[in-house]
Structure 1
Amino acid sequence: MKLKEDLNPVLLLLFQVTVWLYSVLAFLPSYLFSSVSESDAGLGSEQERAQRLKARSVTGRPAGPYRAMGATKRLVSSLHPGVDTLDKVFEDASRRFPDRDCLGTREVVMEEDERQSNGKVFKKVILGQYRWLSYTETHKTAARFGSGLAALGQRAHNNIAIFCETRAEWVIAAQACFMQNFPLVTLYSTLGGPAITHGLNETEVSHIITSRELLETRLKFILLEVPRLQHIIVVDDTPTKWPGYPRGISVHNMATVQELGTMPENVSRGRKQPMPSDIAVIMYTSGSTGVPKGVMISHSNIIAGITGMAERIPNLGENDTYIGYLPLAHVLELSAELVCVAHGCRIGYSSPQTLADQSTKIKKGSKGDTSVLQPTLMAAVPVRHTYSTVHVGLLSQTQTKISTADSLELSLSLALLSQDPKPFCDFISMKQIGFHVILQYSVPHSGSLFLSLCVHTHTHGHVWDYSTGRVGGPLVCSEIKLKDWVEGGYHSTDTPNPQGEILIGGPNVTMGYYKDEAKNQDFFVDDNGQRWFCTGDIGEVHPDGCLKIIDRKKDLVKLQAGEYVSLGKVEAMLKNCPLIDNICAYANSEEMYVIGFVVPNQKHLLSLAEQYHIQGSWEELCNNTAMEEVVLQVLTEAALSAQLERFEIPRKIRLSPDPWTPETGLVTDAFKLKRQQLKSKYQDDIERMYGGK
């Protein structure tokens, strides 16, 4: 052990010297070649690019609107001339890249149950190579499937649902629907029975596309609650017969429906091509604050979105390989894959359980999907376990002879930070790791420096921007502006940075919520006919044009793991606890759990302190960590009794000896919480409860 400790500094020194030597040797040719090409293109050095404006106000006013640099004259809304609907995206790609690999699936070589020491059994797999469909094969398969669905009675403008895991068949089914102008209702494969039932009934679907596993474990138990459902199409090949389902519901294999689509009478059946304004997708949210909401997204919305996304991915082309593992029922994954299709990339499918060699479903000693596929592109959401998987995968590929991962990370991060134009970073990320772009959605990740630098931090939407904690500037398809939120104390005239509610406008703004006029108040159309969405997020614009989200106008917060928490709901439930006089729930979107600030009831707290033999004055009790733990235990029991979800329950609390009154500035005259002021007051406690960060 002592020898290992003595060797670590030596290894680190050797590593640092290696980094330094490589960087020196690589610097001159890298600098000379990059200087020539970049000066010709008028781009400047990497450092200059990083310092350039990402966006600027079109009007010159601090409220905006802000547009991406280079998009100040007009917003971009299409990838290629004439390619204005999603069926045309695939048709255009199959014409330009007919024989290129399009969709890839790994074959399952072996499955086995592995018993752990604690008695639990986990299913492990050994997977083989990827098997590919070309662009031409994919397009023909989708066309046949679309004709087959029409032969089963599906009609244009009538909704059809897909409830399936991320896989090649999902994309084929989606393309079939786009071709036939069937609005596609997408449902997360993780949704519960009531949410699935609500989505299917609200959209009045008669046909649903699903997998064998989801049909047998989830869908079949709610079939009697979905009276309009007539046809279930299973994407798996086996079995070929499906007995035991309610009368009036037919179950078909995807291959059977494709064969139906090859019959002459069905091939010749006229299809109604979509218009850009037609609904392409009705995308249901996870419904964490009630029943799920369906968002209507037109063909032109998605085309505009992927156009903006493509502009942020440098040198995207047919030599790129994308790894798909996020839910295709989410707009990020669907858009990312459509961007890849439009540029002739190949897409290999994976799952969070098989992504890396260390993933939970991969048998020890066999290869995860990233090792076999060696992708150059992936999408990610700021879920820590996902980033950890990628992080471990990256480290395992760079750490071949250095045993201390943390030491390597620190040394590599410092080495990368010291380099300009970071040739060693280029070497590691492009040659050793393989990734050169990660598309990130939703909230900024607080991620490790290693991950951020090795993938060039394209996560925030801007090439050459190595900062973290920001969400970048608007894409070329959209613009943003700030709206004063007086109650929260945010104004576009704030200095040094303008602040306010973030409004997003442009051709990518969706058509609104399906059959929900009340919630459609978040959308409006301005005098120029442009559609806007009021996000409820509070942002500030930095001098370089990047946007940072600093607060939430609504009390809805998305945790790192993707769960939505309604802070008002948590507070309302916990205020019923006799021990609580007042409570403010707080959640940081970069963290995994909720915390809380609590004004305890004096009588009940003193009684509790006596019961647990905790002594001290009122103020001393409120500042006592043991007392906090006791109150938290009572609070947790109350939360469980109120049927709050585990992720909604505060995991840490801060007791306040002083009540919150309008005079303290922490509540309004109506005693509504002033969240920003409470956050400022308890900032030190927030950092403590979130691990001192």
Structure 2
Amino acid sequence: MPGFLASLLLPVLMTMAMRFRKKSRLRGVAEEVGGEPGVTRRNQRFPALVETPWEGATTLAALFEQACEKYADQPLLGTRTLISVESEAGPDGRSLEKVTLGPYVWISYGQAFEKVKLFSSGLLEFGHVKEEKIALFAETRAEWLIALQACFRNNITVVTIYASLGEDALAHSLNETEVTTVICDRKQLKKLIDLGESLETVRRVVYMDDDSDKSTLAACAWQLESFSNIEKLGKGSTAQAHFPNASDIAVIMYTSGSTGLPKGVIMSHRNIVATIAGVMTVVADISPKDVYIAYLPLAHILELTAETTMCAAGVAIGYGSPLTLTDTSSKIKKGTKGDVGELKPTLMTAVPAILDRVRDGVRRTVEAKGGLAKRLFQTAYRRRLGAVEGSWLGAWGLERVLWNAVVFKNVKRVLGGRLRGMLSGGAPLSGDTQRFINICLGVPIAQGYGLTETCAGATFSEWDDTSVGRVGPPVPHCYVKLVDWEAGGYLASDKPLPRGEIVIGGPSVTIGYFKNQAKTDEVYKTDENGLRWFYTGDIGQFHPDGCLEIVDRKKDIVKLQHGEYISLGKIEAALVVSPYVDSIMAHADPFHNFCVALIVPSQTALENWAKRVGQEYNDYADLCQKEESIKEILKSISQTAKQARLQKSEIPSKIKLLPDPWTPETGLVTAALKIKRENIRKAFAEDLKKLYQ
């Protein structure tokens, strides 16, 4: 009997012990700092802020050169061979470009370093003067990173510009920084030529594609040369490298902000290196054994710091694109492997919109199979969800092995089958999607929080933390402070959890905004100890273990007619979980007592519903206008809102369904797929007005 009782009690006792251990573990601890009063936390493992990954790596140029020496024979940059490009007719009759891609072709760290040296010298032979600025204006690819490091080698400041930036914003960015040389790909070269004389200081253009259209090249009025020829110019150069100091400006990064013209954020080498140093301490066992899939915009601080961190650790970087990422991506020819299927990465960075699509794609596949396969998936998911949210033993024990082998093995192949960890950044990740990735892909997913102004990662949830809705403790290179925002009712003295505006301090906090001292002085402060702080405008709260949760944003809060405050960002983050919602923008008129929403529905989900209930329609746009469609989606988002515990005033009373997706090209979302609230408001002003009539 004692043995029988022991066999029953042991798992319970172990589970309780693990729960207590997880609950009691501190991840962020209190710290006394200068500046405005508030509640401050630092990473519990590091009493002092880290600033460099190792001694001597004080600049991005030094870090890259030392990594290339250390990992000279390891693969660094991988690019897929393009076999063919074809056009196919889509479901709506429009022509769609489809590509057939071959295997990855790699160059080593040592080979990449030689290319960097040649390209750096070649730029000077081409006529670029070191004191002038160079703009990188291209999609993410190996040449982008080579060009970046080549500029650093001669202490040339790089202006980074999103490939999806509109004409006015592009001209503003190039003219404001007085860029003289632009390095671009084939597609962006056409945009530059179209702008013509509106670019005031550009004199030289380097294009990355040797097979660029000759008529396009002939139309270029500037001094023009190919990327490969710049390398050849470098072979005959006698110019010596001119290395930067830690305080020198490395990058002026133009954000595709949600309002107005983009602002240029000034980043020193010290700023970016500090983030790399911090991230390398918290990403588990990152090493040359890892393979990283690179497909997010390198002009975004999230991807730039991710790739430079991978370089520092000897990781192989394989390049892809959002349109060719998986076997079912829109640009992939049927029968061709997507980038992750070919590369089989072990590490991946993603924005929530990408992960939401992965989740929705798997769910659509399961729904289409139906029958026993659907019931088995639902049972497995339910069991695994209970295990993950219950005990550590259930989350990682024998049951996990069983369901992974029987049900989730094929799902893991969607992203290559070898992932051991993911990072989500750029926007809040829904708890539903986080759990889905944990369960179906069988990997931990860490949420990161940071801004361009703080060189990305300010907090980073650790991979053994299975809680949802939080963004982790401070990364060891910075402090995180909460200060009172009395107007919004958020105070550092709040109980049980201190709340307030999130303020980031440390060596990763950037210099300020380019040629915008007034805005710089508004949100950047230097305390009595010389420490730099950035006021984010985000509202957060600290949990007892020192982890941060984002709960609001100052700009997203609207006061309704009867005095209730609602957060538009909070509403959007909750309702995007609905299976019918691809994109959403909540809107509130302060002269009314309810909010409304613009929704881009999931076409597959809405059409499947129409088929199931026998709803007739002419085309998808017509389906979005149907009163029955609106009622169905209103019902769905109301259920989702209740599950998220939104208040009645936070649930949209009326919605407008929009058939066309919001993309960076339409100017309605950023390159990181965050909504541009002002642009959407202007584009659909009449629709919003009608919702309130």
Q: Which amino acid aligns with 1:441?
A: G
Find the residue that maps to 1:364 and give its secondary structure. coil
* Counterpart residue number, 1:90: 64
**Structure 2 contact 288–314 (Cα < 8 Å) conserved:** yes
Report whether the alignment pairs 1:130 with 2:86: no
* Counterpart residue number, 2:437: 451
Q: Distance in 2 between matches of 1:450 and 1:106?
A: 30
* Counterpart residue number, 1:683: none
**Structure 2 contact 553–569 (Cα < 8 Å) conserved:** no
Q: CA deviation at 1:543?
A: 0.8
**Structure 1 contact 240–253 (Cα < 8 Å) conserved:** no
* Counterpart residue number, 2:424: 440
**Structure 1 contact 224–246 (Cα < 8 Å) conserved:** no
**Structure 1 contact 52–544 (Cα < 8 Å) conserved:** yes
* Counterpart residue number, 2:193: 220
Q: CA deviation at 1:631?
A: 11
* Counterpart residue number, 2:115: 141
**Structure 2 contact 286–313 (Cα < 8 Å) conserved:** yes
Q: Check 1:175–1:81 CA distance in 2 against 1; reply closer, same or farther (3 A cut).
A: same
Q: Distance in 1 between matches of 2:657 and 2:307?
A: 45
Q: Distance in 2 between matches of 1:642 and 1:144?
A: 43
Q: Which amino acid aligns with 1:88?
A: A
* Counterpart residue number, 2:167: 193
Q: Distance in 1 between matches of 2:50 and 2:302?
A: 19
Q: Check 1:632–1:396 CA distance in 2 against 1; reply closer, same or farther (3 A cut).
A: closer
* Counterpart residue number, 1:509: 509
* Counterpart residue number, 1:326: 296
Structure 2 alignment gaps of length 5 or more:
1-6, 449-459, 577-582, 594-647, 659-676
**Structure 2 contact 18–392 (Cα < 8 Å) conserved:** no
* Counterpart residue number, 1:465: 465
1:63 pairs with one of 22, 28, 38: 38
* Counterpart residue number, 2:358: 389
Find the residue that maps to 2:218 and give its secondary structure. coil
Q: Which amino acid aligns with 1:537?
A: D
Q: CA deviation at 1:114?
A: 1.3
* Counterpart residue number, 2:540: 539
Q: Which amino acid aligns with 1:450?
A: F
Find the residue that maps to 1:458 and give its secondary structure. strand
Q: Check 1:105–1:58 CA distance in 2 against 1; reply closer, same or farther (3 A cut).
A: same
Q: Distance in 2 between matches of 1:135 and 1:583?
A: 54
Find the residue that maps to 2:85 and give its secondary structure. strand
Q: CA deviation at 1:524?
A: 1.1
Q: Distance in 2 between matches of 1:311 and 1:652?
A: 51
* Counterpart residue number, 2:530: 529
Moved more, 252-261 or 487-496: 487-496
Q: CA deviation at 1:594?
A: 2.4
Q: Distance in 2 between matches of 1:238 and 1:122?
A: 21
* Counterpart residue number, 1:684: none
**Structure 1 contact 595–650 (Cα < 8 Å) conserved:** no
**Structure 1 contact 94–136 (Cα < 8 Å) conserved:** yes
* Counterpart residue number, 2:48: 74
Q: Distance in 1 between matches of 2:201 and 2:496?
A: 57
Q: CA deviation at 1:394?
A: 11
Matched ranges for 1:170-209 at <5 A = 170-209=144-183
Q: CA deviation at 1:118?
A: 2.6
Q: CA deviation at 1:169?
A: 0.6
Find the residue that maps to 1:459 and give its secondary structure. strand
Q: CA deviation at 1:364?
A: 2.1
* Counterpart residue number, 2:667: none
Q: CA deviation at 1:307?
A: 1.1
* Counterpart residue number, 1:593: 584
Q: Which amino acid aligns with 1:532?
A: W
Q: CA deviation at 1:467?
A: 1.2
TM-score (ref. length: structure 2) = 0.74
Moved more, 201-210 or 118-127: 118-127
Report whether the alignment pairs 1:553 with 2:554: yes
Q: Distance in 2 between matches of 1:409 and 1:653?
A: 42
**Structure 1 contact 457–467 (Cα < 8 Å) conserved:** no
Find the residue that maps to 1:102 and give its secondary structure. strand
Report whether the alignment pairs 1:258 with 2:231: yes
**Structure 2 contact 58–269 (Cα < 8 Å) conserved:** yes
Q: CA deviation at 1:111?
A: 1.8
Q: Distance in 2 between matches of 1:103 and 1:313?
A: 21
Q: Check 1:117–1:631 CA distance in 2 against 1; reply closer, same or farther (3 A cut).
A: closer
Q: Distance in 2 between matches of 1:97 and 1:475?
A: 26
Moved more, 44-53 or 498-507: 44-53
Q: Which amino acid aligns with 2:437?
A: L
Q: Distance in 1 between matches of 2:426 and 2:189?
A: 30
**Structure 1 contact 443–471 (Cα < 8 Å) conserved:** no
**Structure 2 contact 193–220 (Cα < 8 Å) conserved:** no
Q: CA deviation at 1:649?
A: 8.5
Find the residue that maps to 2:120 and give its secondary structure. helix
**Structure 1 contact 126–366 (Cα < 8 Å) conserved:** yes
CA deviation digits over 1:146-201, x for unaligned, max 9? 10111122233421101000011100110101111111100000001110000000
Q: Check 1:303–1:598 CA distance in 2 against 1; reply closer, same or farther (3 A cut).
A: closer
1:305 pairs with one of 270, 275, 279: 275
Q: Distance in 2 between matches of 1:55 and 1:648?
A: 45
* Counterpart residue number, 1:342: 312
Q: CA deviation at 1:436?
A: 1.7
Q: Which amino acid aligns with 1:212?
A: R
Find the residue that maps to 2:210 and give its secondary structure. coil
Number of residue pairs matched by the alignment? 564
**Structure 1 contact 402–408 (Cα < 8 Å) conserved:** no
Q: CA deviation at 1:355?
A: 0.8
Q: Distance in 2 between matches of 1:358 and 1:118?
A: 18
* Counterpart residue number, 2:640: none
**Structure 2 contact 159–254 (Cα < 8 Å) conserved:** yes
* Counterpart residue number, 1:233: 206
Structure 1 alignment gaps of length 5 or more:
1-23, 33-43, 557-566, 576-580, 603-622, 634-639, 657-693
CA deviation digits over 1:409-432, x for unaligned, max 9? 334433444563414658959997
**Structure 2 contact 655–691 (Cα < 8 Å) conserved:** no
Matched ranges for 1:331-410 at <5 A = 331-383=301-353, 385-389=354-358, 392=361, 402-403=373-374, 406=378, 408-410=380-382
Q: Distance in 2 between matches of 1:322 and 1:536?
A: 32
Q: Check 1:50–1:168 CA distance in 2 against 1; reply closer, same or farther (3 A cut).
A: farther
Q: Check 1:415–1:138 CA distance in 2 against 1; reply closer, same or farther (3 A cut).
A: same
Q: CA deviation at 1:334?
A: 0.6
Moved more, 399-408 or 504-513: 399-408
TM-score (ref. length: structure 1) = 0.74
